[in-house]
Amino acid sequence: MNQNTWVLFDLDGTLTQSEEGIWNCAKHAAARMGLPEPDTATLRKFIGPPLIWSFRELLGLSPEDAEEAQRIYRERYNTVGLFENRVYPGIRCALRTLRKTGMHLGIVTGKPESPTRRILEHFGILGWMETVVCATDGHAEKDHLIRQALPADAGEAWMVGDRMFDVEGGRKAGIHTIGVTYGYGSEEELLNAGAERIAHTPREIMEILCPGEAPARGAFLSMEGLDGSGKGTQLERLTDTLDRWGYEVVHTREPGGTPIGEKIREILLDRENAGMTAQTEALLYAASRAQHVREKIRPAVAEGKVVLCDRFLDSSAAYQGGGRQLGVEQVLAINAPAVDGTLPDLTVYLDIDHRKSLQRRCAASEPDRMEMEAESFHARVEDGYHQLIAGNPERFAVVNAEGDRDEIAAQIAEKVLARLTGDEN
Ligand code: TYD
């Protein structure tokens, strides 16, 4: 049905949010030219017009100084600024869903070709585009670029963009238009330009173009490690990275993650429950998980989101199976009806010696019921994890968690993105 439908996207403000890089480069150029730091209102005006114009009109530079400022700006932009960029959350799922239905995708942008391709490549999106048409001299009209992007035998065609130029260009080229309001233009601007449809989120683009179509599947990731392995910090860092890459992240945890699960969590971590048997404990973790899988994890993955879960089944296998010595087999049997086949696509394990992690944990705040256990308990948990990793080398991404936080975050990001982007193609 969609075999010959083409959907053309503008880049800045539609697929990617580029202001961080643009502003940082403008500030850098201003500082090097001996000017005070431009205020936010001025920086905003840098998005869109030619740079020379901005340096002359917004910062009051002479023609010669504006040339020099532009050179300084570009030097930083081409190496660093280009990647100070984010893909709007939900864009990946929207593009993958359109492709799944057989639509052809393309880019039409006023940006020069080299940075456009490098940005798309960096985020692993270039391969999804069957045509990339960029302004050659910075002044090309959008309708001209759109005509250039469409093959002669194109059927239905759409232009999706955040500014009036995109909508007007699409109309002049005689194709359908969607104006997106999450970018740099307002809904009023887009409607005045004659936008046929308005999308307030990337998800709405998908709903307009392929109504009723199931979104491309998201992913289920978990992070595991001993208490004090630095999981909290690394989960936040990974959430930010995935968000920057255009994934819609659902950050959740176990035990907990749902209102019922959070109540179970309170029982589990309450220091007054010293008499809890190992079996009760294992069943309660499984009960929290049963609710979590059905109420939150599965629906989010089916909606195309990335679920990032702080602990999952492996924690039960390591803590109750290893730590409490119930045995991994029994714990997995207890959990079978809870997870019902739902397992993480990838599990990040923060590898740290149990003595070091416990020291870190106890220095931070009061330990809970689990953390008060003897060192031998934590040694068995660590051993349990190592056995799980040995048995599932494909599913685990193991990262040494004893070093520098930034370095650990970078390693996690690299492994997770490689897996996610690999699975998308
Ligand atoms: P939490 O405060 O979330 O610890 P952390 O920040 O280290 O993740 O408490 C969760 C505790 O519950 C933690 O000690 C590990 C334990 N746990 C199990 O024993 N089995 C399980 O299945 C899960 C999910 C957690």
Of 16, 140, 138, 150, which is closest to residue 83 (Cα–Cα)?
16
Find, among 115, 153, 150, 119, the residue nearest to 134 by Cα: 115
Summarize pLDDT for 112-129 with one digit per residue, the tens. 899 999 999 999 999 999
CATH of domain 219-424: 3.40.50.300
Residue 175's pLDDT is 97
SS3 159: strand
Task: Give residue 269 CA to ligand 1 midpoint distance, Å.
Answer: 8
Query: Is ligand 1 within 6 A of the CB of residue 224?
Result: no
Write down the CATH number for the domain with range 19-83.
Answer: 1.10.150.240
Kindly give the pairing relationship between strand 157-161 and strand 6-9: parallel
Range(s) within the chain of domains with CATH label 1.10.150.240: 19-83
The response to whether residue 281 sits with its C-beta less than 6 Å from ligand 1 reads no
pTM exceeding 0.95: no
For the stretch 370-420, pLDDT in tens is: 777 788 999 999 999 999 999 999 999 999 999 999 999 999 999 999 999
- Alpha helices, DSSP H only, in 368-404? 375-391
6-13+87-209 under CATH 3.40.50.1000, yes or no? yes
- Select from 102, 108, 103, 176 the least CA-distant residue to 148: 108
Q: Do 19 and 81 form a contact (C-beta atoms < 8 A)?
A: no
Residue 137 has pLDDT above 70, yes or no: no
Our mutation pick for probing the ligand 1 site, out of 319, 347, 373, 382, counting the most ligand atoms within 8 A of Cβ, is 319
Confidence at residue 139, expressed as pLDDT on a 0 to 100 scale:
61
In this prediction, residues 130-150 reach a mean pLDDT of 87
Minimal-distance CA residue to ligand 1 atom 10: 255
Share of the chain above pLDDT 70, in %: 99
What's the confidence (pLDDT) of residue 322? 96
Top mutation candidate among 315, 362, 378, 381 for ligand 1, by most atoms within 8 Å of CB: 315
φ/ψ of residue 12, rounded to 5: -65, 125
177-201 confidence digits (pLDDT tens): 999 999 988 999 999 999 999 999 9
CATH 3.40.50.300 residue window(s) in the chain: 219-424
Task: Please state, rounded to an integer, the average pLDDT across all residues of the chain.
Answer: 94
Ligand 1 atom at minimum distance from 313 CA = 22
Q: Where in the chain is the domain with CATH 3.40.50.1000?
A: 6-13+87-209
Note if the bond before 89 is cis, omega within 30 degrees.
no
